[in-house]
Amino acid sequence: MTAARWVLLLLIFIFILAGQVNAEDEISLLSVRGVAELKVPVDQVELDLSIVSEGETAAAALERSAKSTQLLVDALQGLGLSKDEYHSGQFRIQPVWSNRPKNSPANWRAEIVGFTVTSPMYIISKKKERVGELINSVVDAGVNQINSVRFSLSDPRYYRQKAIDAAASNAIEDAQTLAFATGVKLVAVHALTIDDAQVSPIHIQQDQLSVRSFARAESAVLPFNPGDATVKAKISLSYRIEGVLGGVLN
């Protein structure tokens, strides 16, 4: 027998042996997904506000911004908000350029005709039931931009964990039910992953946040009914199994 033939037979033997080992090492799995969705009453309100002040000079615009910001702080304190419930952001100062007139000459150049200062204020408060009164008060104090209003949870991680617990329980229950129905035995967890877990706050639509609508309001309290925040979780769970499933598994 030639050397080449011996090598060929040896390779065939190794291939057959590897196939037998791989067949013995195959793991039978039962995989399920667990999903949970919780509805949780919101317990705080978050507001992103701005005061935009104008002036012919940068100094004039800054002075107006400082006065309006102090009025806003006074209004917040008058509503009973503590200092840890609001904080100001970094102000922005921008030049205002002249508009190009009609039939302007070719050498026309825009000029700075004034300045604007934008001073943001961020509020996170448990006084969610007073949000209408709060917005009206800050508008009266000089706020002329309401960037966003949303209702959220003060401890989102706690409810996220509860949703994960519920999703895991659902997955385990489904796996046990499926194993019983198919006559297999759950041996051990093979893989466990969190596909998704998130808390969705409630955002007020932008068309409801017009400063003019609040300024025209006759009542100091405008109604808001935020409802519940949604907390979702999804997990994937795989078990190693033993038993017979349709005559395939042993």
Residues 6+ apart with CB under 8 A from 228: 39, 40, 41, 42, 202
Looking at residue 48, its pLDDT comes to 94
Start-end ranges of CATH 3.30.110.170 in the chain?
28-43+154-250
Looking at residue 105, its pLDDT comes to 86
In DSSP notation, 139-185 reads HHHT--EEEEEEEE-S-HHHHHHHHHHHHHHHHHHHHHHHHHHHTEE
Residues 6+ apart with CB under 8 A from 72: 49, 51, 121, 138, 141, 142, 143
Start-end ranges of CATH 3.30.70.2970 in the chain?
44-101+109-152
The C-alpha torsion from 8 through 9 and 15 to 20, rounded to 10°, is 180
Looking at residue 55, its pLDDT comes to 95
Question: Along the 250 residues of the chain, how does pLDDT read in single tens digits?
Answer: 554 443 333 333 434 444 444 444 578 899 999 999 999 999 999 999 999 999 999 999 999 999 999 999 999 999 999 999 999 999 899 999 998 888 888 888 989 999 999 999 999 999 988 888 898 899 989 999 999 999 999 999 999 999 999 999 999 999 999 999 989 999 999 999 998 889 988 887 665 556 555 555 544 455 567 789 999 999 999 999 998 555 444 4
Q: Which two tokens stand for residue 13?
A: 């033997």
Eight-class DSSP state of 103: T
Looking at residue 46, its pLDDT comes to 93
**Separation between Cα atoms, residue 108 and residue 186, nearest integer Å:** 81
Looking at residue 101, its pLDDT comes to 86
pLDDT in tens, 113-131: 999 999 999 999 999 888 8
Q: Which fold has domain 28-43+154-250?
A: Translation Initiation Factor IF3 (3.30.110)
Bridge partner list, 14 = none
> What is the pairing mode between strands 145-152 and 44-55?
antiparallel
Looking at residue 16, its pLDDT comes to 42
**Separation between Cα atoms, residue 241 and residue 28, nearest integer Å:** 6
Looking at residue 208, its pLDDT comes to 55
In one-letter notation, the amino acid at residue 93 is I
Looking at residue 222, its pLDDT comes to 53
Looking at residue 227, its pLDDT comes to 81
Q: Which two tokens stand for residue 105?
A: 């000459």
Looking at residue 212, its pLDDT comes to 54
Looking at residue 197, its pLDDT comes to 85
**Separation between Cα atoms, residue 76 and residue 137, nearest integer Å:** 8
Helical residues (DSSP H) of the chain, grouped into ranges = 3-25, 58-78, 131-141, 156-182, 211-216
Domain 44-101+109-152: homologous superfamily in CATH:
Protein of unknown function (DUF541), domain 2 (3.30.70.2970)
Bridge partner list, 96 = 114
